[in-house]
Structure 1
Amino acid sequence: MAYIQAKKHPTGARSAIASALLLALPAVALADNNTAQASAQQSGKLQQVTVTADAIEAEFIAEKASSPKQTQKLVDTPQTIVVVKKELFKQQAATTLSDTLRNTPGITMLMGENGNTATGDSIFMRGFDTQGNIYVDGIRDLGTISRDVFNTDQVEIAKGPAGVDNGRSTSSGYVNMGSKVAGLEDFISASAVVGSGSHKRVTADINQSLNIENAAIRVNLLRQDSGVPNRDLVENNSTGIATSLAFGLNTATRTTLNLLHMQQDNIQDGGLPTAGLAGYYSSSYVAAFPQNNGPVIVPVDRSNFYGSKSDFDHVLANMLTLRVEHDFADNVTLTNTSRYGVSTQDYELTGVNVLAFPAATKNDPSTWTVSRSRQGKDQKNQILINQSNLTAKFVVAGLQHTLASGVEFSYESQLNYSKAMPTGTTQVPANLYHPSTADVFAPLVFTGAKAEGSSDTAAIYALDTIDLAPEWQLSAGVRAEHYNTTTDNISIQGTATPQTIPVGTKVGSHERASDNLLSYKLGVNYKPTADGSVYLSYATSQLPPGGTSFQLSSSATNQNNPALQPQKGTNLELGTKWNLLNQKLFATAAVFESVNKNELVRDDVNTYVPVGEKTVKGAEFGLVGMPLDNLELSAGLALLDPKITRGSLYGTSPTQGATIQWTPKTTFTLWANYKLEKLSLGGGARYMDSVARSNNAAINPATASVVTVPDYWVMDAMASYEVNPTVTVQLNLYNLLDEEYIGSLNNGGSRYHQGTPRSAKLGVNVAF
């Protein structure tokens, strides 16, 4: 089978797509505005404008974000925010947060460092690691776990620095999962799905009003027992329950208590060797065959599993949230949210690394081997937080203000116990083409080392939107916060003598960082019509040392050294948003420049100084809704120019002028669904441009492995049929062309996770 080769796509093609979208917006907006003006001239017939039960709704469109801090509709919010609603990811039979994020361009999935394999939602967005910027209902969600969407109403992706919204964070933006909550409407829905890779999944969503007036309860259930298509032994098994109990609905005081319990029992995928893929390089092969006259390295079978049957990944997460809202007046609402959450992850997996060619049999590929590493983690994350937000509308000096202000107090912690192979032991390699789970696998034991870190934060913020005139809005926000991060680590000074368990001298360390952070954002909105806006905005963010991992370091070469200044991100954005076709179509376009400063770089005397700078310039376009009756679509295009504008010029790995790793220049995503009377036909396409795996400007493709991940197209399809008003059958087909591509790659280029192969899911959905 042919393997993917890197392709060059002319910039003219990208420009043509972008230009077409830009040119289309004013034309459609003008037509929509003319329709609105014609309707206004018939004001005497307003009684004829009605909403009927048979009206077709644009299910993919969200009016606004779920956070009370976002007081304006999306069309009036001067920032790129993509909202993926449950109606969209249900059509795709998506089950994880990572699945839903494929509906927005500019996001890449990571595999991890050379010595570790990433688990969970490891995402890269607009040039920066975003794994620490994932939120649930506006509150940071900790841990390196894979998040299920069985209890999610919509996923919101805010792009660009957002320090005012959430405090310390990277320059990429953030992802927020809006949870399902109880309401007064009674309903029951459920689904049962089977699919490729022994996939079996059952979910239920039950909402019931209570005998108590204005009270309701909602319960969401999940059970999944699943393998992974074309992956031997890998498993993703989940059990979840989420309850929402609400009182005082439709009254001035509303109280909601939410509980989430999630358990995962998986066998993690340690990856496949990149041997034989496009761009693969092996120094050991060159040493074994100096004249490059050895057998050709062919790719391994993508179903191969290089780990042990005893590999595991146990995740347990519990989250309790209490939200109380009170309306003091029609335009004044106080919201107080408290949450305690704890998640634990205990895993052992086997990763693959470099090839070896036995001297006596090097010409026989069946004897080639690949080294393996045994990796483990025992991690616990906790969060205790209280947020108070006051939203108010008022008039001052004849100007309308919409203010969201509040205070926030939080405690976040992370505890890691080190697991490793016993001192002096090694893991036997695997046969490259025929790995066996019958091999002897080195056990993992606790070393006695641990890493414990925590952050206390107190913050105050205010965001105000001022209506300067019917056509003009000014928005401004500021957040001031004080943080205190501490790290207490115990390391082990090892011994060269082989031991049953690791031994050595325990060495303790303590680091502390405390400072004040100030973030702000400004935006100007011009509204030529009520359904359109053109905006210019500027926003900042700060990420102090230890801001995501709570791990401070005394090393002068570590970005988490407490003596360093926070990394500072800025974003300048010019954009336009339009509600078109009587609110049935939402179109967006934006150009932006994001800059991240204060990164460590090496100078000419081999010391590290915080003067590094990364810049991502780009444009992003979005179209979601119903351009035609019965046709729904969601489309996005991102064009990025990611560069290290100030990096190191010295050492073996200079970075000055290099492209930013894991950041594709072009990404495109499309999903469309056409509804007939009882039959719905849907399909989608995704394009991911090639991405660099390293920031090294001097990396040599001739002597480094898989320097870039090749680009790829993936196409999916869906068909559903309404058997009766209660029962619907749905079939999803993935990767119709069976494109073989790299879904994620490790930093060293030695192993990868395959992209989803051609596969299918068949489900039955019931609702009544």
Structure 2
Amino acid sequence: MSSTLKPIPSNASLTDSGRPRQPLLTLGAMMLAGVAFNAQAETTPAKSEKTLPTVTVSGNKEVQPDGYRASKTRVGKVQQDPHEIPQAVTTVTNTLMEEQQVGSLREALRNVSGLTFNAAEGGRSGDNMMLRGFYTFGDMYLDGIRDTAQYNRETFNLEQIDVLRGSAAMLFGRGQAGGVINQVSKTPLRLDRNKVTASLGNHDYREVTGDFNKRINDTTAIRLNVMNRDEGSKRANPTSGTEPELHRSGIAASVGFGLSTADEIIASHVYTKTRDIADYGVSFDSTIHRVNTKFPAEYFWGIDRNFDDSDTHISSVVYSHTFQSGAELRTQLRHADYKRQYWAKTPNATLAPSPIGATGGNQTRKSRYETVTLQSDLTAQLTALGMKHELLAGFEYLNEDGYRRGLLNVGTASAPQYYPDVENTATPAATFKGDSYALYAQDSIEFVPQWKLLIGARRDQLKADYSSTTSPKLSFGEWSVRTGLSWQPAEESHYYLSLSDSFSPTADLYQLSGGAYDPERSQVIELGAKWLFMHGDLALRTALYRANKEWERNTDLESTASILTRKRRTDGIEFELAGRITPQWEVFSGLALMNAKILEVAENRNATTGVITKADARLQGQRARNTPDYTFNLWTTYKLTDNWKVGGGVEAKGKRYVYSPSTADASSLFTNGEFNPNTAPAYERWDAMVSYEAKSWTARLNVRNLADKVYYDALYDNGGFAVPGTRRAYILTGEFKF
């Protein structure tokens, strides 16, 4: 953990890494004043000496954004270089997202090795990813605060995306074994800077974004980010021409007071709106356990009356106080309100699409999720007993209020019709209210030069009330721990061993099972190394890990099983390269090799009779679902001249299984005694980019899926369907800075 940042004087400029640096003009003025003073001293009697007035020139230098190698992150609760964290960290920078013309969080996360996408039914729709073979729906964060609602996230207001791999342990308390995905918002800057982009592409792609920052005075600024995007698809209903559609917009406003002073306040509000027609893909063929080939991959079962509407409001206030000693107290207060309603058509395995929705299933949901979070962290550095200490202590309060219910079919079975806000009152709503409290502390001790010992612990207490009559209340109190040993023989190298054991105190996670079972726990051990080359411009890391998950929960409300597996494990190794190889050549690449399997099968208790049913014993030892044995990603660019740049890359994943691991009779998953569940094939997707960059404007052409290959990137993990990825897409973007 690096030093806590100290306040920056208002007349200081910043280096590219964000560290304070006195303006060159001020230094020059001081030198001139000194020369003038010396000259006068040599020609004027002492009795007539005069002191020249102090010359102060204040200014603000624009902080240059990171390239592909991130130089700072707060995913470890303190702003520091990712190189200093004794745990694997992947950062998707703003530069990388812009060059790839990324609009959604999901598209940005294609750059993260070891990550795959789930296609969700009614119980867990929205952004839904697997990392190192484990779910991340309990591990989505926005600026260090939980953001796990079921919605689709956009990147227009994101500075970067940090992925802290491994159990979150005492840093966040809750956590799957895979890691934490933390979105980092853009904040006001002490300078005037504006940028507008406009993009056009095939499949009716249109996007406009704006990023406007206004400096009010030395310590006050406001920032406004806006976005509107529309996108179609090559897939369509052959009877009506209806396509999956994205219609998304957002606005994010923030104001900062006391910027770079001892007392800094940043207040913000983000509103995002989606009006989509969701794509639930194509079905699997149950006879061959492969993606259905009875219909073309371009067939879409949706109709123009389908809808996927969401409105998200997130309001935050962050107050930071830096003491004279350099210690920092940082407190965040947030209210978030997530509303979503949808009606989506699922594919049919044997019947072609219908213009009125007569074929295919219907998935509907009305949901609202509100949270209030208060979080405060104190960081400090000191020397005690002859050793250097970097201390972290804090507390967190989280209030959750959730509501879910299906919509009412006001049409017929052959001609269904659903409307927003028309709920099916014949079935009870699923509701919960939860309160979580946490205290945590951590110390990083440099007990001998170059060696640090990290020790941290967190206590979480969760209480929740549910609408379920069989498990109406829940109360958990658990400890999470984190420890690590670091050796940094030089500034450019870091070797570490880390261990963590986490509890997941999330009311949403336990809505099916209540307190009938032990809470989820994750244990991770990781041995890693990080190196910096090219004067710190290029970072290489590797990590060897073992991750265990106990009492793995199911949050898909369409399922009756509360527990997915009793114990599951992933063993893996990762390699990642990010940064600048030469002044013209940049690269971002990752390789993940994973061996994920079920160690102990699930056991589920009947809520009425109390009878316990175990999953099929033959599933023990089988590969976990939606976890390929390898993933690989590469993006690289080369600057041909001062203006022209070319780039390209590939995303590749091995084959992935999808099935229900909690089924009591898994006979359908075996063929001649061999495990043969529904399987999505391995794939590679190639992309390319060319751009012309001038001082105040940029023109860029992106081509996604150069080969126009049919591939399946998102899978419904219970095995019903797979969603095809993007077909060949051309996007032309113009960017103007002023």
1:108-127 → structure 2 map (5 Å cutoff): 108-113=116-121, 116=122, 119-127=125-133
Q: Write the deviation string for residues 45-79 of structure 1: whole angstroms up to 9, x where unpaired.
A: xxxxxxxx999996111123224624553222111
Contact 2:445 2:452 in 1 (8 A): yes
Q: Is 1:227 matched up with 2:232?
A: yes
- Match of residue 464, structure 1, among 443, 467, 472: 443
Map of 2:528 onto structure 1: 575
TM-score, normalising length: structure 2: 0.82
How many Å separate the matches in 2 of 1:609 and 1:97?
28
The aligned amino acid for 2:157 is N
Contact 2:476 2:519 in 1 (8 A): no
Q: Is 1:514 matched up with 2:475?
A: yes
How many Å separate the matches in 2 of 1:59 and 1:648?
45
Contact 1:527 1:533 in 2 (8 A): yes
The aligned amino acid for 1:404 is L
Contact 2:290 2:679 in 1 (8 A): no
How many Å separate the matches in 2 of 1:757 and 1:705?
28
The aligned amino acid for 2:233 is V
Contact 1:354 1:370 in 2 (8 A): no
Contact 1:414 1:550 in 2 (8 A): no
Q: Is 1:532 matched up with 2:493?
A: yes
How many Å separate the matches in 2 of 1:664 and 1:356?
31
How many Å separate the matches in 2 of 1:241 and 1:610?
39
Map of 2:279 onto structure 1: 269
Question: Do the aligned partners of residues 610 and 714 (structure 1) sit closer, same or farther apart at CA in structure 2, a change above 3 Å counting?
Answer: closer
Segment of structure 1 superposing worse, 400-409 or 299-308: 299-308
- Match of residue 638, structure 2, among 674, 694, 699: 674
Q: Is 1:344 matched up with 2:339?
A: yes
Map of 1:552 onto structure 2: 511
1:169-248 → structure 2 map (5 Å cutoff): 169-211=175-217, 213-231=218-236, 232-248=242-258
Question: Do the aligned partners of residues 530 and 298 (structure 1) sit closer, same or farther apart at CA in structure 2, a change above 3 Å counting?
Answer: closer
**In percent, how many aligned pairs have the same letter?**
27
Question: Do the aligned partners of residues 337 and 758 (structure 1) sit closer, same or farther apart at CA in structure 2, a change above 3 Å counting?
Answer: same
Map of 2:32 onto structure 1: none
Contact 2:565 2:602 in 1 (8 A): no
Contact 1:716 1:735 in 2 (8 A): yes
Deviation at 1:651, TM superposition (A): 5.8
The aligned amino acid for 1:305 is F
How many Å separate the matches in 2 of 1:135 and 1:217?
24
Q: Is 1:156 matched up with 2:117?
A: no
Q: Is 1:254 matched up with 2:264?
A: yes
- Match of residue 94, structure 1, among 96, 102, 107: 102
TM-score, normalising length: structure 1: 0.79
Deviation at 1:571, TM superposition (A): 0.6
Contact 1:229 1:759 in 2 (8 A): no
How many Å separate the matches in 2 of 1:525 and 1:326?
29
How many Å separate the matches in 1 of 2:263 and 2:287?
60
Deviation at 1:708, TM superposition (A): 1.3
Deviation at 1:370, TM superposition (A): 8.8
Segment of structure 1 superposing worse, 183-192 or 466-475: 466-475
Contact 2:482 2:498 in 1 (8 A): yes
How many Å separate the matches in 2 of 1:315 and 1:600?
26
- Match of residue 587, structure 1, among 527, 540, 546: 540
Structure 2: 5+ residue stretches without partners: 1-60, 237-241, 555-560, 604-613
The aligned amino acid for 1:626 is R
Contact 1:276 1:299 in 2 (8 A): no
Q: Write the deviation string for residues 313-364 of structure 1: whole angstroms up to 9, x where unpaired.
A: 111011110011111124211111100110100111111234269xxxxxxx
Q: Secondary structure at the match of 1:75?
A: helix
Contact 2:462 2:507 in 1 (8 A): no
Map of 2:326 onto structure 1: 331
Q: Write the deviation string for residues 592-613 of structure 1: whole angstroms up to 9, x where unpaired.
A: 0001123589xxxxx9999821
1:112-151 → structure 2 map (5 Å cutoff): 112-113=120-121, 116=122, 119-151=125-157
Q: Write the deviation string for residues 490-524 of structure 1: whole angstroms up to 9, x where unpaired.
A: xxxxxxxxxxxxxxxxxx66611112110011100
Q: Secondary structure at the match of 1:419?
A: coil
Map of 2:26 onto structure 1: none
Question: Do the aligned partners of residues 600 and 329 (structure 1) sit closer, same or farther apart at CA in structure 2, a change above 3 Å counting?
Answer: closer
How many Å separate the matches in 2 of 1:312 and 1:600?
29
The aligned amino acid for 2:108 is T
Map of 1:291 onto structure 2: none
The aligned amino acid for 1:669 is N
The aligned amino acid for 2:103 is T
Map of 2:9 onto structure 1: none
The aligned amino acid for 1:108 is T
Question: Do the aligned partners of residues 460 and 277 (structure 1) sit closer, same or farther apart at CA in structure 2, a change above 3 Å counting?
Answer: same
The aligned amino acid for 1:392 is A
- Match of residue 85, structure 1, among 78, 89, 93: 93
Q: Is 1:167 matched up with 2:131?
A: no
1:374-385 → structure 2 map (5 Å cutoff): 374-385=362-373
Question: Do the aligned partners of residues 172 and 548 (structure 1) sit closer, same or farther apart at CA in structure 2, a change above 3 Å counting?
Answer: farther
Deviation at 1:419, TM superposition (A): 1.8
Question: Do the aligned partners of residues 118 and 462 (structure 1) sit closer, same or farther apart at CA in structure 2, a change above 3 Å counting?
Answer: closer
Contact 1:454 1:550 in 2 (8 A): no
Q: Write the deviation string for residues 167-187 of structure 1: whole angstroms up to 9, x where unpaired.
A: 222221110000000010211
RMSD, matched Cα: 2.9
Deviation at 1:393, TM superposition (A): 0.6
- Match of residue 581, structure 2, among 624, 627, 637: 627
Question: Do the aligned partners of residues 705 and 659 (structure 1) sit closer, same or farther apart at CA in structure 2, a change above 3 Å counting?
Answer: closer
Deviation at 1:241, TM superposition (A): 0.7
Question: Do the aligned partners of residues 83 and 548 (structure 1) sit closer, same or farther apart at CA in structure 2, a change above 3 Å counting?
Answer: farther
How many Å separate the matches in 2 of 1:611 and 1:314?
33
Contact 2:575 2:590 in 1 (8 A): yes
Contact 1:373 1:427 in 2 (8 A): no
How many Å separate the matches in 2 of 1:70 and 1:270?
40
The aligned amino acid for 2:493 is G
Deviation at 1:677, TM superposition (A): 1.3
Deviation at 1:98, TM superposition (A): 0.6
Return the structure number with greater relative CO, CA threshold 8 A, min gap 6: 1
- Match of residue 416, structure 2, among 436, 441, 444: 441
How many Å separate the matches in 1 of 2:461 and 2:184?
27
How many Å separate the matches in 1 of 2:377 and 2:725?
42
How many Å separate the matches in 2 of 1:408 and 1:55?
32
How many Å separate the matches in 2 of 1:120 and 1:749?
18
Segment of structure 1 superposing worse, 88-97 or 299-308: 299-308
Question: Do the aligned partners of residues 467 and 411 (structure 1) sit closer, same or farther apart at CA in structure 2, a change above 3 Å counting?
Answer: same
How many Å separate the matches in 2 of 1:509 and 1:573?
40
Map of 1:712 onto structure 2: 683
Contact 1:659 1:695 in 2 (8 A): no
- Match of residue 401, structure 2, among 401, 413, 422: 413
Question: Do the aligned partners of residues 548 and 685 (structure 1) sit closer, same or farther apart at CA in structure 2, a change above 3 Å counting?
Answer: farther
Deviation at 1:747, TM superposition (A): 3.8
Q: Write the deviation string for residues 269-327 of structure 1: whole angstroms up to 9, x where unpaired.
A: 2322345997448xxxxxxxxxxxxxxx8442333221221111111011110011111
Map of 2:705 onto structure 1: 735
Aligned length: 645
How many Å separate the matches in 2 of 1:85 and 1:529?
26
Segment of structure 1 superposing worse, 150-159 or 413-422: 413-422
Q: Is 1:760 matched up with 2:730?
A: yes
Map of 2:659 onto structure 1: 694
Structure 1: 5+ residue stretches without partners: 1-52, 282-296, 358-364, 429-439, 490-507, 554-559, 602-606
How many Å separate the matches in 2 of 1:229 and 1:105?
27
